[in-house]
Amino acid sequence: MGIWIIPLGIVFVIIGIIGWKAVSKWDAIAATSFDPQDHRIKEAVEDHPFSLNPIIWVIGVASLFILFVIFFYWASSI
């Protein structure tokens, strides 16, 4: 089980960066003003609402890591 410490740490760092970027973006928006005109949804988000969602990115990164672990143990048992 010790071989998974470094890859799991890398996954935690990636998820942390995704979360930090999302929170800093929300904080920057909240700090500018409370005028509703300033908080319009950008066209990129309107066109692709799921691609810029940080929760979807975190689930994707975690899923890829889990699939890699499953594939690794499957390939090593052959």
Question: Is pTM, for the whole model, over 0.85?
Answer: no
How many of the other CB atoms lie within 10 Å of CB of 57?
19
Q: What's the pLDDT score for residue 49?
A: 59
CA 17 to chain centre: 8
Q: Select from 29, 21, 32 the least CA-distant residue to 58.
A: 21
pLDDT at position 34: 61
| pLDDT per position as a tens digit, 14-72 | 999 998 888 877 666 566 656 666 566 666 665 665 666 788 889 999 999 999 999 99
The residue written with tokens 């672990």 in the block is: 69
Q: And the tokens for 58?
A: 């975190």
**Which tokens in the block code for residue 5?**
């410490």
